[in-house]
Copies of this chain bind each other. A is one copy, B any other.
């Protein structure tokens, strides 16, 4: 079978990256619901579902390799292929982080009530960033891509606030719970960071510039 034409391969890459982002955003949505409501069965579904993300990454890399091998793309097309390889790595990691949240639930750990609101909000922001990254990957909308950075600033504020709660002398839940909360907060923050990285990759692929250089 002859290889597909380059524009078709590039479209497939955009579609698959979008699908990967949607998949990991849904995984984090469910992992967060499992965390807030202590639903261990739901957490197990998230854990089982992570193989789908790894399979999508393998497909992205296969198509990217075909594009390089059969079409020797140049300029923006080459940037698109290289950035697809890098983005797939970021999105796979987002899936791992959703999995880590689910694993905390699976181990039977509970969130103390006073941080549930913060985690609900971190979950909402991170899932929203994942879904926006999906849209950016599919549509290659540079203006939308640049917008992800300010959503990520909101995540950083929440993350700092969470550490303030933990560091307070009045924290009544002991060290083991503090360790869980510390790691969980980090998983959400890193998920958001990778979503922003996917958007930055798209900006670079489309324009050959970083978001800062564009000053959009």
Residues of A near any B CB (own CB < 8 A): 61, 64-65, 68-69, 72, 74, 78, 82, 85-86, 89, 163, 166-167, 171, 174-176, 178-179, 182-183, 186
> B64, B176, B186: which contacts A183 (Cβ < 8 A)?
B186
> B65, B72, B178: which contacts A175 (Cβ < 8 A)?
B178
> B72, B78, B182: which contacts A179 (Cβ < 8 A)?
B182
C-alpha gap A111/B174 in the complex (Å): 19
> B69, B72, B186: which contacts A186 (Cβ < 8 A)?
B186
C-alpha gap A20/B176 in the complex (Å): 37
Q: Which residues of B contact A175 (CB under 8 A)?
A: 166-167, 171, 174-175, 178
Q: Which residues of B contact A74 (CB under 8 A)?
A: 69
C-alpha gap A95/B5 in the complex (Å): 39
A176 and B186 in contact (CB under 8 A), knowing A65-B82, A74-B69, A89-B89? no
Q: Which residues of B contact A64 (CB under 8 A)?
A: 82
Q: Which residues of B contact A89 (CB under 8 A)?
A: 86, 89
A176 and B166 in contact (CB under 8 A), knowing A78-B65, A82-B85, A89-B86? yes
Whole-angstrom distance between the Cβ of A156 and the nearest chain B Cβ? 14
Whole-angstrom distance between the Cβ of A206 and the nearest chain B Cβ? 16
Q: Which residues of B contact A82 (CB under 8 A)?
A: 61, 64-65, 68, 85
C-alpha gap A72/B74 in the complex (Å): 10
